[in-house]
């Protein structure tokens, strides 16, 4: 009886392995892989060294997009908002994020790698690198994505005191 049980268990395990193997997609599927070396970083105009890499989609067009943004040390943006919600994950460095119409780096919340923040649609916020660290965040959202500064008379990017 014990031998029969082992044979049945082995047969079932073989069936599971076969079924799992059959579910593996072929190499010519729609899967996309992007290594860090393949990311195309572009400087953000007047961004004081801020760079962006679009990984999927196009933020300027309707539909989902995924971008990475790299903030040099001590560079942040002023209060602004976006028309659609955005989901931000901190990948490297400590990202400083604040909410509301008034920029005050002392009131920013430091978010370490692995942290996630939701920018609700039209929620006023400001963020960036409030320290000597380079910061990389990944943003997922729905396009078309625009940025509206709260006070367009001031430069959008600024270097915070250090």
Tell me, what CATH number does 79's domain have?
2.60.120.10
d(CA 39, CA 2): 56
Domain tally for the chain?
1
Q: Is residue 66 part of a domain?
A: yes
Coil, strand or helix: which one is 45?
A: coil
Given pLDDT bands bounded at 50, 70 and 90, which one contains residue 29? Answer: confident
Question: In the chain, pLDDT over 90 holds for what percent of residues?
Answer: 80
Given pLDDT bands bounded at 50, 70 and 90, which one contains residue 81? Answer: very high
Return left, alpha or beta for 18; rule: phi > 0 is left, psi -120 to 50 is alpha, else beta. Answer: alpha
Q: Is residue 105 part of a domain?
A: yes
Q: Say what the pLDDT of residue 162 is.
A: 84
d(CA 145, CA 83): 7
Mean pLDDT over 120-137 rounds to 98
Q: Is residue 14 part of a domain?
A: no
Q: Is residue 23 part of a domain?
A: no
CB neighbours (10 Å) of residue 76?
Answer: 24
d(CA 149, CA 111): 23
Q: Is residue 57 part of a domain?
A: yes
pLDDT at 25 over 70: no
Q: Which domain holds residue 57?
A: 36-159
First to last CA, the chain: 76
Q: Is residue 19 part of a domain?
A: no
Beta bridge partners of 87: 118, 140
Mean pLDDT over 142-156 rounds to 96
Structure tokens given for 37: 């070396």
Rg over alpha carbons for the chain, rounded to the nearest Å, is 23
């Amino acid at each position: 009886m014990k031998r029969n049980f082992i044979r049945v268990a082995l047969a079932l395990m073989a069936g599971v392995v076969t079924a799992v193997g059959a579910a593996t997609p072929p190499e010519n599927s729609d899967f996309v892989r992007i290594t860090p070396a393949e990311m195309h970083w572009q400087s953000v105009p007047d961004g004081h060294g801020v760079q962006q890499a679009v990984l999927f989609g196009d933020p300027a067009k309707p539909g989902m997009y995924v971008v990475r943004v790299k903030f040099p040390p001590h560079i942040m943006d002023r209060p602004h908002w976006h028309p659609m919600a955005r989901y931000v994950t901190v990948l490297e460095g400590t990202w400083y994020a604040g909410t509301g119409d008034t920029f005050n780096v002392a009131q920013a919340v430091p978010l370490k790698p692995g942290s996630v923040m939701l920018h609700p649609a039209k929620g006023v916020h400001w963020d960036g690198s409030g320290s000597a660290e380079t910061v990389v965040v990944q943003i997922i959202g729905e396009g078309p994505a625009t940025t509206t500064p709260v006070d367009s008379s001031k430069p959008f990017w600024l270097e915070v005191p250090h």
